[in-house]
Structure 1
Amino acid sequence: MELHNPMALFVLLMLWFFLVHAASAQKRSTYIVHMDKPSMPKAFSTHHFWYSSILKSVSINSDPKLLYVYDNAFHGFSVSLSKDEVESLKKSPGFVSAYADAVVTPDTTHTPDFLSLNTASGLWPASEYGKDVIIGMIDTGIWPESPSFKDHGMTAVPARWKGSCRGGEEFNSSLCNKKIIGARYFNEGQRAGDSTTPVPNTARDDDGHGSHVSSIAAGNFVDGVSFFGYAPGTARGVAPRARLAVYKALWGGGGVSSDILAAIDQAVADGVDILSISVGVQQINLYESPLSIASFGAREKGIVVCMSAGNRGPSVRTIRSGIPWAVIVAAGTVDRWFAGNLSLGNGKTIIGWTTFPATAIVRNLPLVYNQSLSGCTATELGEAPENSIIVCNTTIGNTDFDTVMGGLSNSNVKAAIVIAEDTSIFRFNTFPYPGVVITAAQAQQVADYALSSAAPTASINFHETILGKEPRAAPALSDDSSRGPGRSYEGILKPDLMAPGVLILAAFHPQLTAARIGRNIDLASDYNLLSGTSMACPHISGTAALLKAAHPDWSPAAIQSAMMTTADPLDNTNAPIREQDGSVASPLGIGSGHVDPNRALHPGLVYDASVQDLVNLVCSMNFTRNQTQTIIRSSYNCSNPSSDLNYPSFVALIRAAEIGRTLTRRFQRIVTNVEDGAATYKVMVEAPINTTAVVRPQTLVFRKKYEKLSYSLTLRYKADIEIQHKEGAVIWIDQTGKYRVRSPIMVSAAADNFE
C-alpha cells in the first residue's frame, strides 16, 4: 500500500510514535527503592505488607513482585517496575529514592574501588587508564605468563621506548609484549659478593614479590580470580593501561647496592616515566645509599621515584630511606574483611576473621570451652573430644596465634575459635587449621552461651568477604609500617603518603607456596594476599602514572604535590585515620594522609620544585664536597644552599641544645595555579599544640593558569622535649570551595635528642 496523502502519512507516524512510547513506558526493569522506615502507617504489621500495598496501588497491569526486602544495610526493597510505575511510586508516602539496578562486577585487588577509581569519571578516564606511561619495576623480576601481564586491549609500544627484552634463561624475548615492554636482570654484584650460591641469568621472578607489585601498579584486567575463594572478582592494577619495564635486581629475597644502581641506571636510560622501588636499604647516609644517589639522577631526568617506607614499625625513626626527592609510601588497611562467620547453637552469629584456604565442614559440632585455662595446651587438646570445636584464648598465658595453629595441627579437634587481640594476625594470610579469630569482647558471647548450655554447639562458615566500614574503619595505619622522621634526613616529613598495603591480592609465582593446611600441605595460587609497604608503593606508582598520562607536562614535583595536598587524613567514617591499635595516627606514620587519586587529578595548586632546588637542598646538608658531589655530581654547584625546599609539608626541628628556649622558624613557599582561569584562595591554619602559626598573606589571588604566588609560614613555639612531636596543617581553600590544598606541619624533636 502506498500513501500519497502527506496528512495520512503524518497521522500514521504519530500513531507509531505513541505506540512505541506506550510500549516503552510499560517495559519493566528492576529498581532498588529506598524507603523511610519510620513512615510506615500503623495499619501495617510489617514493612513487607506496607511495601506490597504501595506496589498494588502503583501497578498498571499486574502486581509487581517484591524481589527483596531490605532492613539492615538500608531500608527498602527491590522490584521490577515500568517507568510509569516508578513515577507513581515517587508520590507514595515514605518514598526516598529509586535507582535502576546496575550490573555489579566483583573486584579482587579491590583497592581501585577503595581509591574511588571508576570508569565513569575522574582519573581513570582522564588518563585513559595510564595509557602509554612506562613504569619501571626494580624488584625480583616478573612471572610473564601471569594473566595480569597479558596485553589484550593494549596499543602499540610507544616509539620513545629505548629499552629491550633481555630476560635471559627461561625468559624468551617472545614473552615480552605490549604490557611487559622490557625485561632485564642485574646480578653481577650478587655473584661477586656470594660466589658460592648460584645466581641465574634471568629476569624471571623466583620469589613472587616482583610479580605482585608489578600487577598492583599496572596489571591488566583479569576476571574470576581469588585467594582460595576469598576476595573473588576481577583483578586489575591502578594503571591497567600503563606499560611495565622489569629490572630484576633482587635474588633470593635480597640484593646488593651495585645491582640496584645498575638497574635504576638502565631504567633511566631506557626512558621509564615512573620508578617503583619496593626495596629497603641498610645505608642511612644519603651519599652512601644507592637508592638516594640513583633516584636523584632519575628525578633529574623527569622521572617520578616511588619507594616503600619499610616494615619496621610501629616505633618512630624507623624509616631509613627518608629521601627528599622520592615519594616515600606508608601502608594502610583497606575496607575489606575476610570473615569466618561463627554461628552458636543459640542462634547468635559472630563475625570473626579467617583465611583458612579450604572449604572445611564445621557444622553443629560440640563446643569445648574452659574458662580458666587457655584451651591451647597439648594436654587440653589431647583431652578434647574428637570432631569438636575448641576455644583457644591467646590473651592469657604465653600462647600466640602461631603456637595455637601448630598445636591444632597435631590434634584431633575439628576446628578452633581463637581469642586474640594481636592485630598482626590481620596482616597475614596464614591460617593452616580450620578456625576463626575473634576478640575478647566477642568471646564473652561464646563464654555466656557455652557456660549456660548443657551441650553447646557451633558452626563456622568460611570464604566470606565483607566490604565496607564494618567491622573496622579503614584505612588504618598498619602497625609494621615504618614511621618517620626519616633517619637519612629529618628536615622533610617522611613518609609522604599512605596507600593500601595490607592483604592486597595480586599476581604471584604459581609454583611457590601461597598457603598451607596443617604442617605439610603446601598450596599454590596464581594470586596471593601479601602485606607491607612493598604493596603500598606500587599503588602510588600507579597513581603517579595516571597523573602523568593526564598531565604530561607536569614535573615530578607537581605530580607528587598533587597526590600529597589532596590526600585524606580521615578514614571512611570521617574520623582521623588511626593506628591499628585504635590510637590516632600522626603524620610521622601517614604523611599527608591516604592517597585520593581522583582529587589529585585537579589539585588546584601545586608546590613545584626544580632540580636546582634539590641541589640547593643537598648543598645545605653539611656534607663534604665529595659527599655532596656523590649525589649531585659536578654538573651543579653550591652557590645558593637552602634547606627550605618548596615542599608540600613543613618540619620544624627541636635540637638538644635548644631545649627550654622559645624558637621561631620561617618557611617560604611558592604555589602554582594549575586549574583553568583566575582563582582566589584563603588560608586556614591548624596550629600545632602550644605553637603560634602565622601565614602571610592570608589570601592568594591568581589571575590565570600557571601563575605562581608565594607565601610565608612562621612558627613560634617552645622547645619542649616532653612533647616530642606536634602536628598541624596549612590549608588553602578556593572561594568556590572546590579545591582544598592541605600541607601538614610537624614540630619534631631532632635525632640528637635521642643520642
Structure 2
Amino acid sequence: MDKRSTFIIHMNIAAKPKPFSDNHSWFSATLRSITDSPKFIYSYTNVINGFSAVLSSDELHALRQSPGFLSAYADKQATLDTTHTSQFLSLNHDAGLWPASNYGEDIIIGVIDSGVWPESDSFNDKGMRDIPKKWKGKCESGAGFNSSVCNLKLIGAPYFNKGLMAATNSEISLFGDSATARDSMGHGTHTSSTAAGSEVTGASFHGYGGGIARGAMPRARLAIYKALWDNGRYASDVLAAMDQAITDGVDIISISMGFDGVPLHEDPIAIASFAAMEKGILVSASAGNSGPDLSTMHNGIPWVLTVAAGTVGRKFFATLTLGNGRDFSGGVSLYPAKALLLNVPLVYNKTFSSCNSSETLSAMAEDMIVLCDFTSSIDYQMRSVTQSNAAGAIFINDNLDAAKDFTCPSVIVSAKDGFELLNYVKEHKETATVTVSFQQTLVDVKPAPAVAEYSSRGPSPSFPGVLKPDIMAPGEKIIAAWVPTRSTAKLGRTPLASDFNIMSGTSMATPHVSGVAALLKSVHSEWSPSEIKSAILTTANTLDNTLEPIKELADRVPMVTASALAMGAGQVDPNKAMDPGLVYETGTEEYVSLLCASNYTSKQIMAITRWRSAAALNCSKASKDLNYPSFIAIFDDGDYVQRFVRTVTNVGYEGSVYKVKVVSPGGVDIRVKPETLVFKEKYEKLNYEVQIKRSRKRSEKKYSDGSIIWLDIKGKYKVRSPVVVVV
C-alpha cells in the first residue's frame, strides 16, 4: 500500500474558479477530486494561499496536475532551541521605556510554543484594564483546561494538533499530553513569562536567584498558541498557529524554535512571518543552539528579527572554605537544598578520583567530600557520588556548566582552583577539611554579557546576503515560570518541583527581545516592523560591563572579541531603542525585489509572498541591496568592489545633522558618500552610498568586522550599523 504523509500545499488563488465563494471550499473540492478518502488537515487564511493534507505519492502526483497548484512539500518537525534580566537590561520603574510605554498594557504578544500553565502567578492580572477591543481571539476549553483560566493578562490560549495527529496517527493523550493549550513541556510557560510575565515577589530556583520575577513587558497581554507537543512539533501546526495569531490581532509574534536546513520557500516561519510583516506584526525568532561554528543558525530570514543568546551578569554558586581559612567562591552549584557542610573531611585518592564507582566511594570516602578529576562525564560522576555514602563532591572541570542536575551536595570548580585544592589536600592529608555553603547568588559578575557558546552563528544558510543574527539578548540561566508537573531538580533520586526553573538557550533570549519590541510598539504605534527592528539594532550595546568589547564563548582562552556573526549588532538596549534618532524602513516591495534578485523562481516567490500570479510579480527592480540597518559583503574571486545604498528616516529632532564614522574591517576600504547628513525636518528621508573595496587577493575565506556609525553633532544620537566582510 502506498505510504501516506502530510504535505503543505501552496495554491495560486488567481486560478480559483468563480463558482467557489472562498478558498477553503475550492481547496476541499480540489482534494476530493484526486482522492476518494480525503484527509484535510488545515486550510490557511493569512500565512499561505493553501492547505495541508495527508496524501499518498500517487495522490500528490495527481494534485500536481490540478489547476492552480503551485508547490508542495512534506510536513517537517521544528527544533526547540526572570529575577535579574530586567535590571541587567536597565529596565526600571523610574525612567525609560517601561514607564513611557505604561509597561505595554494594551500590546498583545502572541507566543507560538508548547502552551501555558495558566495557574502560574506570572500570569496574574492584578490591576490590569479591560482587554483591548481589537482582540478577536479566544481561550479554548478542554479536559482540565476551562476557558475561565484565562484573564486580563492571559487573553488567548488555542491549540493546534491536527498535523501531529496525522503524522503519528494517534491521540495526544497517549503521550501524557492533553488536547488543550495546557503546557506539559514547560518551554512555553518559561518563554511567555520571560516576554511578559507579571511581577511575582519572592521568586527563586530552589533558593537561587531570589527576587522579583517579571517579564520584559510585565503588563502586556499574552496569547499562547500551542503548536509544540511532547511527541512532535510539526510545520503544519506551526503554520496554523501563526495564521490564527494574525487573525486574532496580536501585535508581536515570539517564536523560540526553527526548522533546520530548509530554503525560505519551504520554511513555515519564513512564509508565515512574511504575512505577519505585511499586517504590521513583527516576528521575533531564535537563532538556534548549534554554535559556536559559523553558518549554523536557522531563522536567518530577512523580514524576521533573529535573536542570539548572551550571558547575564549573575552567578549561582556555593562557597568553599578550607580548614586553613582559604576561601573559594569561583565554583558553580545549583544543589537544591539549603545545606551547610561544616568542616567535613576533604579527600583525594587516585583510586577513586575518577568518581565513577559508587561502591569504591562508599568504601573509601564515607561521610567525606571527595575531589573528582575530569576523567568522565560529570553527569555519570554525579550519579556515582549520589548513590554512594560520600558526603558530597567537588568536581574539577573547566566547563562550569557541565552538570545538568546537582543531585548531591556538590560544586564544580575550574582546573586552576582544582589545582589549589589538590595541593591543600596533599599537604594536609589527615586533617584537610572543607566547609560548603549552598544557595549563593552573585550579581554584577564581570565580564558580561558574552555570547553563549551554543548560540548559533551566521551567515544564514538560507539567506547569507543579509547579516544575521540581528541582536543578542540574555539567554543563559534565565529564571522564569515553570509547570509543576515537570521536575526542575533532583535531591538524590527524588525529583523536585518548583514554580520557577532555570533554562538556557536562544529560546530564552528571544522573548526578551519580543518584549522590548512590544514596548517600542506601545510607545511608537506608527512604526512598522522594520522600523522597530532598526531601532533595536542601531542602538545596541557593543560593550560589556567592564566597558570592553563584548566577547564570545567558544572554548577559547582567552576569549575573543565577538563578531557580528555571533552577536549581530550587539546586546539589546531597550531604553536607547526608544529614541534611536534615525531608522531604516523596509517595505514589502523591497523584500520581493530581494527575492527576485536571489534566484528564486516565480512559483517560489509566490509561495512566500502569496502574490496572486506570476504576472503580478514586479521583478523589474530586482536588487540584493536591501535597506537594512546592517551590512554583509561577500566577495567572490573576481569581485573587488561592492556598493550599497541606504535610506534613513529622521525620527529625532528637526534640523539634526549627522556625520559618519567608519571602522573598516581588515582587508577592505570603506567609503561613505555623503559624509554628512543634514535633516531639515522630522521624518525627512535621506540616502547615502557605501562603497566597500577589497584591498587584497583572497587566499582563503576570512571574516572581518567593522561598522558605519552616524553621529549627531549635538551628541544625542549614535546610530551604528555593523559591517561584516568576507574576503
CA apart distance, 1:690: 1.4
The aligned residue for residue 69 of structure 1 is: none
| Structure 1 counterpart SS, 2:589 | helix
Are the equivalent residues in 1 in contact too, given 2:115–2:183 (CA < 8 A)? yes
Counterparts of 1:528 and 1:668 in 2: how far apart (Å)? 46
Is 1:433 matched up with 2:411?
no
**Which of 249, 256, 260 lines up with 2:227 in the alignment?**
249
Q: Matches of 2:520 and 2:674 in 1, distance apart? A: 30
> 1:667-711 deviations in whole A, cap 9, x for unaligned?
000111111322111111010101100011111111121111111
Match of 1:687 among 647, 659, 664: 664
Counterpart in the other structure of 1:282:
260
> Which aligned pairs between 1:503-542 and structure 2 lie closer than 5 A?
503-518=477-492, 520-542=493-515
Contact 1:662 1:716 in 2 (8 A): no
Q: Provide Cα deviations, 1:357-400, integer angstroms capped at 9, x if missing partner.
A: 01234110111024797442427524433111111121xx3x13
1:171-250 maps to which residues of 2 (within 5 A)? Answer: 171-198=145-172, 200-250=178-228
Counterpart Cα distance in 2 of 1:119 and 1:429: 35
Which of 114, 120, 131 is 1:140 aligned to?
Answer: 114
Q: Distance in 2 between matches of 1:676 and 1:133?
A: 27
Note the C-alpha offset of 1:594. 0.6
Equivalence for 2:539: 566
The answer on whether the counterparts of 1:167 and 1:202 sit within 8 Å (CA) in structure 2 is yes
CA–CA separation in structure 2 for the residues paired with 1:185 and 1:210:
12
Contact kept? 2:310, 2:476, Cα under 8 Å: yes
Instruction: Give, in whole Å, the separation in 2 of the partners of 1:418 and 1:117.
Output: 37
Once residues 510 and 309 of structure 1 are traced to their aligned partners in structure 2, the CA distance between those partners, rounded to angstroms, is: 28
The SS at the match of 2:593 is helix
Deviates more, 1:272-281 or 1:580-589: 580-589
| Alignment partners' CA distance in 1, 2:350 and 2:549 | 37
2:576 counterpart (578, 599, 602): 599
Q: Find out whether 1:501 has 2:479 as its counterpart.
A: no
Contact kept in structure 2, 1:355 and 1:429, CA below 8 Å: no
Contact 2:407 2:491 in 1 (8 A): yes
For residue 126 of structure 1, what is the aligned residue in structure 2? 100
Which residues in structure 2 correspond to 1:609-688 (within 5 Å)? Answer: 609-635=586-612, 637-638=617-618, 639-655=620-636, 658=637, 661=638, 663-688=640-665
Q: Is the 8 A contact 2:592 2:605 kept in 1?
A: no
Task: Name the amino acid aligned to 2:412.
Answer: V
- Pair 1:313-2:313 in alignment: no
Counterpart CA distance in 1 for 2:390 and 2:400 is 25
Cα 1:223–1:645 change in 2 (3 A) is: same
CA offset digits 1:237-278 (Å, max 9, x no partner): 000111101110011163111111010011001110000000
The one of 277, 286, 298 aligned to 2:276? 298
Alignment partner, residue 552 of structure 1: 525
**2:439 paired with 1:463:** yes
Task: Determine which of 303, 315, 325 is the counterpart of 1:325.
Answer: 303
Inter-CA distance 374–691: structure 2 relative to 1 (3 Å threshold): farther
CA 1:333–1:722 in structure 2 vs 1: closer, same or farther (change >3 Å)? same
Question: For residues 276 and 238 of structure 2, what CA distance do their matches in structure 1 show?
Answer: 13
Match of 1:27 in 2: none
Instruction: Decide whether aligned partners of structure 1 residues 145 and 721 sit closer, same or farther in structure 2, where only a CA change above 3 A counts.
Output: farther
State the Cα deviation string for residues 95-144 of structure 1 (Å, max 9, x = none): xxxxxxxxxxxxx5310000000011110011111121000010001011
What SS is found at the alignment partner of 1:185? Answer: coil
| Pair 1:350–1:158, CA change in 2 (3 A) | same
Instruction: Check if 1:451 corresponds to 2:426.
Output: yes
Task: Report the CA distance between 1:516 and its aligned residue.
Answer: 1.1
CA distance in 1, matches of 2:655, 2:115: 47
Taking structure 1 as reference, are residues 364 and 261 closer, same or farther at Cα in structure 2, changes over 3 Å only?
same
Contact in 1 for aligned 2:447/2:544 (Cα 8 Å): yes
> 1:281, CA displacement in angstroms?
1.1
Q: Which residue of 2 aligns with 1:483?
A: 457
Aligned to 2:58: none
Spell out, residue by residue over 1:456-505, the C-alpha distance to the aligned partner (whole angstroms, 9 max, x if none).
Answer: 10011000000013xx4111111111111111100001110110001101
* Deviation at residue 447 of structure 1 after TM alignment: 2.3
How does 1:11-30 map onto structure 2 within 5 Å? none
In structure 2, what is the equivalent of residue 442 of structure 1? Answer: 417
Q: 1:360 to 1:375 in 2, by over 3 A?
A: farther
* Residues matched between the structures, number: 630
Structure 2 counterpart SS, 1:184: coil
Change (3 A) 1:316 1:373: farther
Distance 2:250 2:104 in 1: 13
Distance 1:423 1:662, change over 3 A: farther
Alpha carbons 1:371, 1:447 under 8 Å: kept: no
1: CA distance, partners of 2:700 / 2:530: 35
| 1:304 alignment partner AA | L
TM-score (norm 1): 0.81
Separation in 1 of the partners of 2:611 and 2:649? 30
Matched, 1:713 2:693: no
Q: Secondary structure at the match of 2:157?
A: strand
Q: Any idea what the Cα deviations from partners look like across 1:588-619, whole Å, max 9, x if unmatched?
A: 11000010001101111111111211121122
- Structure 2 runs not aligned, ≥5 long: 1-81
CA contact (8 A) 2:340 2:438 kept: no
Gaps of 5+ in 1: 1-107, 750-755
Following TM superposition, by how much is the alpha carbon of 1:186 offset from its aligned partner in structure 2, in angstroms?
Answer: 0.6
Q: Distance in 1 between matches of 2:353 and 2:560?
A: 28
Contact 1:138/1:249 (<8 A) preserved = yes
Name the structure 2 match of 1:67.
Answer: none
Note closer, same or farther for the CA distance 1:196–1:165 as it changes in structure 2 (3 Å cut). closer
The whole-number CA distance in structure 1 between the counterparts of 2:457 and 2:209 is 29
Please point out which of 364, 372, 387 is paired with 1:392: 372
* Kept in 2: contact 1:510–1:526 (CA 8 A): yes
What letter corresponds to residue 118 of structure 2 in structure 1? P
SS at match of 1:558: helix
Q: CA deviation at 1:646?
A: 0.5
Q: Secondary structure at the match of 2:284?
A: strand
The answer on whether the counterparts of 2:184 and 2:485 sit within 8 Å (CA) in structure 1 is no
Distance 2:675 2:504 in 1: 43
Q: Following TM superposition, by how much is the alpha carbon of 1:282 offset from its aligned partner in structure 2, in angstroms?
A: 3.1
| Equivalent of 1:410 in 348, 366, 387 | 387
Decide whether the 8 Å contact of 1:375 with 1:390 is kept in 2. no
Whichever residue aligns with residue 247 of structure 2, its letter is: A
Share of identical aligned residues, percent? 49
**Counterpart selection for 1:157 from 125, 131, 146:** 131
1:578 equivalent in structure 2: 551
Following superposition, the deviation at residue 640 of structure 1 comes to 1.8
Question: Which has the larger displacement, 192-201 or 223-232?
Answer: 192-201
Q: Does 1:746 align with 2:720?
A: no
* Higher alpha-carbon Rg: 1
TM-aligned CA distance change 1:167 to 1:579, over 3 Å: farther
- Paired position in structure 1 for 2:57: none
Q: Deviations over 1:392-413 (max 9, x none)?
A: 121xx3x132121121122111
1:401-454 deviations in Å (ceiling 9; x for gaps) = 2121121122111011111112543xx652111111111111232123222224
Please state whether the residue corresponding to 1:268 is helix, strand or coil: helix
Aligned counterpart in structure 1 of residue 314 of structure 2, from 336, 355, 362: 336
Give me the whole-angstrom Cα distance separating, in 2, the residues matched to 1:362 and 1:119: 40
Task: State how far apart, in whole Å, the 2-side matches of 1:253 and 1:139 are.
Answer: 14
